Structure 1
Amino acid sequence: MSKLLYITANPKKGVTRSKGAQIGEVFLETFQKERPEVEVERLHLYDMNITRIDTDLLYARAKTSFMGYTLDQLSSDEREKFTRMHALADHFIAADYYVFVTPIWNLGAPGILKDFMDNMFLHKKTFVTTEEGPKGLLTGRKAIHIQTRGGIYSTGPMIDFEMGDQYVRKALTFLGMDVMDTIVAEGLDHFPKQIPEIMEKAKTDAVEAAKEMAKSMVAI
């Protein structure tokens, strides 16, 4: 059975409190109508115990990658964190479709998303190094990012300062995924009177993107 991972990075709970979640639910509803056989799993990052790269993980990765250590030779803390990192990566790799829903905060994505994605960059598991450079191993998978923005970043003086969507797209592309065009709802804080129109446009984009994703039969 194919699986879609629906990944949210926002501490707000409930669809009514998050505009990104409202757009994401429209995407999911449309996708599930088109592909009811695909299993959907929700990952709310703020509810997860995500392994962060710290001293233990830095040493564990170095010891196992080029210093010749086995898992049993790691300290108990190193081994526990290293094992949890690989378990989270294995869970991520097992999916076929990916939907990321995030706001932009202080020019970038919430830090917890970076913590999550740090678990996915594992040499020989999600990418390899070749003579031509790094090569992502998560090919045949489809991903999309839904991002809400308080300001305007698509045009004007802030266009070069948007680093949240850029990070998500580049990280997933690095890992080998086919990344669709981002669904963006922007100006939500700058133009409060236009929120209904902004949201309606984003939801329409979400419906079309979900139908497009549903047409793709991933081949992992």
Structure 2
Amino acid sequence: MKKLLYVTANPKGLEKSKGLQIGEAFLETYQQERPEVALTRMDLFSLDFAQMDADLVFARGKLAGYGYTLDQLSEVEREKILKMHRLADEFISHDYYVFVSPMWNLNSPAVLKAFLDNLFIAGKTFAHTANGPKGLLTNKKAIHIQTRGGQYTGTPLQEMESGDRYLRIALSFLGIEVMDSVIAEGFDLYPQKVPEILKKAKEDARLAAKEFSKDPLTV
């Protein structure tokens, strides 16, 4: 059975978050198109996962470059590295990924970057080769739904946006096919147009979901 992981990074909840509402519009259409795909929801603000602190950094280094075995790590290091691998394994077990996040201060919420840090595991999600790093998560597909208070697309501010850009780079690095993002912007800049912007964004999300549902591997 194919599986979709729906990853959200917004603490406001569905009622107050425009991004989550757009995400639900995407999911509704996707599930109509692909009812056989199992859905897993993952709220990053409620998820307990390993952080890249000194213990985890040292654990990764010892295992990757210094010939340590898992048993030779300290108890704390071992606990955190295993926690990291469990999250990565959960992620890998899915075939499709939908990320929903707002732009905060030119980037995504820090919790999303912390989550992605858990996915960069040499030998599991990417490999070092003679020609450089190679992503191992092939035959998988992802899309990002992002909300922005300002107007960035087609303006001088466009190059300052780094949240959507980084997510796309990170997923592509791991070998995942990344579709065009669904971007809804101008919510703070044009408060009188919020209903209009939200309506258009939901329409865009539904169209994106139909495109996302097309899977040549299942034909």
Same structural fold, with TM-score higher than 0.5 when normalized by the shorter chain: yes
Number of aligned residue pairs: give it: 218
Q: In 1, distance between residues paired with 2:49 and 2:160?
A: 27
Match of 1:152 in 2: 151
Q: Residue 10 of structure 1 corresponds to which residue in structure 2? A: 10
Shift of 1:191: 0.2
What amino acid does structure 1 have at the position aligned with 2:189? Answer: H
SS at match of 1:117: helix
Q: Deviations over 1:129-159 (max 9, x none)?
A: 1122111011111100000000011122211
Indicate the SS of the match to 1:42: strand
Structure 2: runs of 5 or more not aligned:
none
**1:143: which partner in 2?**
142
Alpha-carbon distance in 1 for matches of 2:129, 2:23: 37
Question: How far apart, CA to CA, are the structure 2 residues paired with 1:156 and 1:145?
Answer: 21
Deviation at 1:217, TM superposition (A): 4.5
Distance 1:103 1:58 in 2: 28
Instruction: Supply the distance in 1 between the matched residues of 2:175 and 2:2 (Cα, whole angstroms).
Output: 18
Aligned to 1:40: 39
Aligned to 1:115: 114
Q: Determine helix, strand or coil for the equivalent of 1:46.
A: coil
Question: Are 1:85 and 1:119, in contact at CA under 8 Å, matched by a contact in 2?
Answer: yes
Find the counterpart in structure 1 of residue 19 from structure 2. 20
Measured in 2, the distance between the counterparts of 1:82 and 1:159 equals 37
1:80 aligns with 2:113: no
Amino acid at match of 1:71: L
Question: What residue in structure 2 maps to residue 200 of structure 1?
Answer: 199
Contiguous gaps of at least 5 residues in structure 1? none
* Paired amino acid for 1:177: I
1:98 partner amino acid: Y
CA distance in 2, matches of 1:114, 1:159: 20
Cα distance in 2 between the residues matched to 1:159 and 1:58 = 33
Deviation string for 1:143-189 (max 9, x for gaps)?
A: 00000000011122211100000011111111111100000110000
Match of 2:53 in 1: 54
Farther-moved stretch of structure 1 (152-161 vs 120-129): 152-161
Deviation at 1:124? Answer: 0.7
Query: Share of identical aligned residues, percent?
Result: 57
Aligned partner of residue 40 in structure 2, secondary structure: strand
Runs of 4+, deviation exceeding 4 Å? none
Deviation at 1:70, TM superposition (A): 0.7
- TM-score, normalised on structure 1? 0.97
Hey, what's the Cα distance between the residues in 1 that align with 2:118 and 2:217? 23
SS state at 1:204 partner: helix
1:132 to 2:131 alignment: yes
